[in-house]
Amino acid sequence: MKIIIHGGFFSESSTNNETKVAKQVALLQIAKEGHAYLQNHSALETVIYTVSLLENNSLFNAGIGSQIQSDGKIRMSASIMDGTTLKMSGVINIEEVKNPVFVAQHLLDCEDKVLGGSGATAFARKNGFEVFSTEIPQRKAEYEAKVSGNGQGTVGCVAFDREGKIAVATSTGGKGFEVPGRISDSATVAGNYANEFCGVSLTGVGEDIVSGAVAAKIVTRVTDGFEMKEAFAKTFQELKPIDGFAGAIGIDKDGTIFHQDSHPTMVFASYDGENSEVFQ
């Protein structure tokens, strides 16, 4: 049983040691908490739970602490994919919910599995998700100063359970100051994809990730027989012509954990019950 999570990219990793340490501690703690949950839950249940922990931590740009768009509103996106059933569900540009990943979870059993904008928000209200503002003072101050605090912020989780099943979930608060209606990669197969062979979650610049179809490419290559390292390397090589800004985490059917980024520094942590790794 293994788990790996990411918390996006951030410049503070090299300029603000206090912030760096805070994120290292938080990610490792959440990875271990997610792994403990995995002991008695499926991979699918675990990625949903673990991403909700990341959404609840204002250090990261998802859920609480999400970026503010150019019109002063916060719109979030999240998705889930079950590698066993191949069901994917998600919400795009949903407003005023605490945990977008839980709304995505609710959509897994619906016929229409990916909803956007006002439709996603209306679905959330109809199904008991209360109005909740995810704006924090830091984001408001950044917006008023016309400064984006973290343009490549996304959180994600890949889990491998005791039955060898894989699942993935990804959530984002956007890049900040984007045009309302902009679609990120997080609720697409470019940013979040899994099957029985591999699961991958992305963070970075959504437009680059979509252009590279990154998650789907990596998973497809592993399915076709590539080793994880090879699948990641080839896919990231294909991002170079556009100087693609991306970071990815993954686990394959053998429980192999892998991560790679195209630019420093993706923040991540992994845990398998004995060994842990956290970004440096």
- Structure tokens, 33: 């908490």
Q: What is the CATH number of the domain that holds 203?
A: 3.60.20.30
Task: For 112-141, give one letter per residue: b (16+ CB within 10 A) or e.
Answer: ebbbbeeebbebbeeeebeeeebbeeebee
Measured in degrees and rounded to the nearest 5, phi and psi for residue 267 equal -95, 130
Average pLDDT rounded to a whole number, residues 110-132: 98
**Residue 137's pLDDT is what?**
93
**pTM of the shown model:** 0.96
Average pLDDT rounded to a whole number, residues 226-232: 98
**Residue 35's pLDDT is what?**
98
* Nearest CA among 64, 58, 38, 63 for reference residue 50: 38
Which band of pLDDT confidence, cut at 50, 70 and 90, is reported for residue 16? confident
Catalytic residue list contains 170: no
Which listed residue (46, 50, 154, 172) is catalytic? Answer: 154
Residues in Cβ contact with 202 at an 8 Å cutoff, skipping those fewer than 6 apart: 154, 156, 170, 185, 186, 190, 191, 192, 209, 214, 215, 246, 247, 248
Number of domains observed in the structure of the chain: 1
- Full residue range of the structural domain in which residue 77 is found: 2-278
Task: Average the pLDDT over each of 145-154, 233-242, 260-269 and give the range with the smallest value.
Answer: 145-154
Q: Is the pLDDT of residue 269 over 50?
A: yes
Residue percentage of the chain with pLDDT more than 90: 89
Q: What is the pLDDT of residues 20-74, one digit of tens each?
A: 999 999 999 999 999 999 999 999 999 999 999 999 999 999 999 999 999 999 9
Q: What is the pLDDT of residues 206-215, one digit of tens each?
A: 999 999 999 9
* Nearest CA among 63, 45, 67, 74 for reference residue 99: 63
- Structure tokens, 157: 């989780």
Q: CA dihedral in degrees (83, 130, 55, 222; nearest 10)?
A: 10
Residues in Cβ contact with 255 at an 8 Å cutoff, skipping those fewer than 6 apart: 2, 160, 164, 272
